[in-house]
């Protein structure tokens, strides 16, 4: 028995000594893939069993088979690369023979796509045909596609985005645009970036946002820069002067402050107006003011001596604004009731309109919101009653006339004793039945609409 065991031990030792060292080689050691991925094969030469060891980055690739014996082939498959970075890995193949092993490695490298984006659509809410966004703000809905990771930014810090980054795909991002903080308006620019390690793009797009918002007395007013180079309010004042209460009595001639007028009845046989205390009418039409109140003084404070001293004053306008002057009116519409005031070069003067007139149509095309809002007519300082005006049977389109208060004196008249009888100021006067908008003479006690002009 001892001899047999000794012989077996020697035999096993000789068998082990005869096993060859492991042999292992790979036909490829560097595999390059584009961003679309795909498969490549590697031929394995081996003299014994072998197996594949993958590293921690193996989630984007697979190797099959993972084990083999002798010569064979492995297939390496990569998924498409939708990231913004090049991907790489190193894979080991180990061949083992008895207590010895041999390792060969191969590397994987996959490029990423070059970043690309495409703006599918821009939707403005409220909609704007000319893509100039409302001064009040709103929403911009941006639909786009990207082929890799992307970022979206805006140059205006007060514009908020519900999405600022993402990966490959089609996206809809909503930008919330607040009221324009810049009176002159601003440019809102978005930058959509899709940049990878292989390159990419940054695409700028955006919109202009209109300015011209004036916050005053708890109200927000719109203004527009006209072609005369000046900013004009496009809404009538709704300002309540301190200590004053609007009246619905046309005979409250020394109150100097009335509710707006609206159409009462307008037919081919009858045209009347009435006062309205409704909030929507105040918002649409504004209040009516005597020129005294508009100029910032109390009824009775205008005298023969100081009547001409109010030209261009702020009055009840916001700071930095003023009650229009005769020069403002002529520069805008090119005409007053005095033929000597005609300026055919004014931007809203139409030489073909009734022989040459300021044009309501041209003003409206520029955003002036030209219309008529009626007036309380008070003949002079001695008058104790007033009448309402604004509608005529010949014009069935709504209110026909009225005034926008002015600050330049046209004429001062006196009584026999030298006391003030009346002051007429140059005001803007619409006649909607003829489509004209010109300077006219407005009695200072009349209740009229007020708009303001920004100081240069």
Q: DSSP assignment of 176-220, as one string?
A: EE---SSTT-EEEEEEEEEEETTEEEEEEEEEEE---EEEETTEE
Domain end among 157, 179, 209: 209
Question: 438 lies in a domain?
Answer: yes
396: Cβ contacts below 8 Å, ≥ 6 apart: 266, 268
pLDDT tens digits for range 27-49: 999 999 999 999 999 999 999 99
Domain end among 86, 110, 134: 110
Domain end among 149, 175, 209: 209
Cβ count near 416 (within 10 Å): 6
Sign of the torsion formed by the C-alpha atoms of 325, 331, 335 and 340: positive
Angle, alpha carbons 206-212-213 (nearest 5°):
105
Residues 153 and 227 in one domain: no
Q: Which parts of 293-369 are beta strand (E)?
A: 321-322, 349-350, 357-358
Average pLDDT taken over every residue of the chain: 93
Residues 170 and 297 in one domain: no
Residues 78 and 197 in one domain: no
pLDDT at res. 20: 79
Residues 341 and 229 in one domain: yes
Residues of the chain where predicted confidence (pLDDT) is lower than 50: 1-17
Question: 223 lies in a domain?
Answer: yes
20: Cβ contacts below 8 Å, ≥ 6 apart: 47, 97
Residues 173 and 134 in one domain: yes
Distance (Å) of CA 332 to CA 41, 122, 319, 367: 81, 36, 22, 13
Cβ count near 440 (within 10 Å): 22
Question: 9 lies in a domain?
Answer: no
- Rounded CA gap, 328 and 350, in Å? 17
Sign of the torsion formed by the C-alpha atoms of 52, 57, 63 and 65: positive
Q: What is the four-CA torsion angle of 276, 279, 284, 287, rounded to 10 degrees?
A: 60
pLDDT at res. 19: 63
Residues 333 and 395 in one domain: yes
First to last CA, the chain: 124
Residues 85 and 129 in one domain: no
Domain count, the chain: 3
Residues 72 and 99 in one domain: yes
CA nearest 333: which of 214, 236, 440? Answer: 440
Question: 7 lies in a domain?
Answer: no
Task: Give the global pTM.
Answer: 0.75
CA nearest 66: which of 53, 47, 56, 77? Answer: 53
Question: Residue 32's domain spans which residues?
Answer: 21-110
- Rounded CA gap, 430 and 371, in Å? 7
Q: 323, 353 in Cβ contact below 8 A?
A: no
Residue 46: which CATH number?
2.60.40.10
Residues 203 and 155 in one domain: yes
Question: 219 lies in a domain?
Answer: yes
Sign of the torsion formed by the C-alpha atoms of 58, 62, 67 and 71: negative
Place of tokens 């490959």: 168
Residues 198 and 82 in one domain: no
pLDDT at res. 10: 40
Residues 190 and 160 in one domain: yes
Residues 186 and 233 in one domain: no
Question: 4 lies in a domain?
Answer: no
- Rounded CA gap, 433 and 371, in Å? 11
């Amino acid at each position: 028995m001892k001899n047999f065991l000794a012989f077996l031990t020697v035999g096993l030792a000789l068998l082990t000594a005869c096993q060859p060292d492991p042999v292992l080689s790979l036909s490829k050691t560097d595999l390059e893939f584009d961003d679309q991925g795909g498969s490549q094969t590697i031929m394995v030469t081996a003299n014994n069993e072998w197996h594949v060891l993958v590293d921690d980055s193996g989630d984007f690739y697979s190797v099959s088979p993972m084990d083999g014996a002798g010569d064979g082939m492995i297939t390496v498959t990569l998924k498409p690369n939708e990231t913004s970075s090049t991907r790489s890995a190193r894979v080991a193949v180990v061949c083992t023979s008895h207590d010895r092993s041999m390792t060969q490695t191969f590397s994987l490298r996959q490029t990423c796509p070059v970043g690309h984006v495409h703006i599918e659509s821009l939707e403005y809410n409220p909609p704007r045909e000319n893509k100039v966004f409302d001064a009040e703000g709103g929403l911009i809905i941006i639909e786009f596609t990207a082929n890799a990771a992307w970022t979206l930014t805006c140059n205006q810090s007060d514009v908020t985005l519900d999405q600022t980054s993402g990966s490959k795909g089609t996206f809809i991002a909503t930008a919330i645009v607040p009221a324009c903080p810049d009176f002159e308006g601003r440019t809102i620019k978005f930058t959509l970036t899709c940049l990878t390690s292989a390159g990419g793009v940054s695409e700028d797009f955006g919109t202009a946002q209109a300015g011209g918002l004036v916050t005053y007395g708890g109200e927000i007013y719109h203004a527009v820069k006209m072609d005369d180079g000046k900013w004009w309010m496009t809404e009538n004042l709704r300002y309540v002067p301190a200590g004053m209460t609007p009246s619905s009595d046309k005979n409250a001639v020394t109150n100097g402050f009335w509710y707006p007028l609206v159409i009462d009845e307008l037919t081919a046989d009858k045209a009347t107006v009435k006062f309205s205390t409704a909030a929507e009418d105040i918002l649409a039409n504004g209040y009516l003011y005597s020129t005294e109140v508009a100029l910032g003084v109390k009824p009775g404070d205008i005298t023969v001596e100081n009547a001409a001293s109010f030209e261009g004053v702020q009055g009840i306008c916001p700071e930095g604004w003023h009650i229009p002057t005769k020069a403002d009116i002529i520069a805008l519409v090119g005409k007053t009731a005095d033929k000597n005031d005609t300026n055919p070069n004014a931007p809203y003067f139409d030489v073909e309109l009734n022989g040459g007139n300021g044009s309501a149509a041209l003003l409206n095309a520029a955003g002036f919101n030209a219309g008529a809002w009626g007036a309380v007519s008070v003949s002079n300082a001695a008058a104790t009653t007033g009448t309402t005006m604004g509608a005529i049977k010949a014009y069935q389109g709504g209110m026909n006339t009225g005034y926008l208060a002015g600050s330049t004196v046209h004429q001062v008249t006196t009584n026999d004793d030298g006391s003030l009888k009346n002051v007429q100021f140059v005001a803007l006067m619409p006649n909607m039945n003829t489509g004209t908008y010109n300077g006219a003479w407005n009695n200072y006690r009349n209740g009229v609409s007020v708009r303001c002009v920004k100081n240069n």
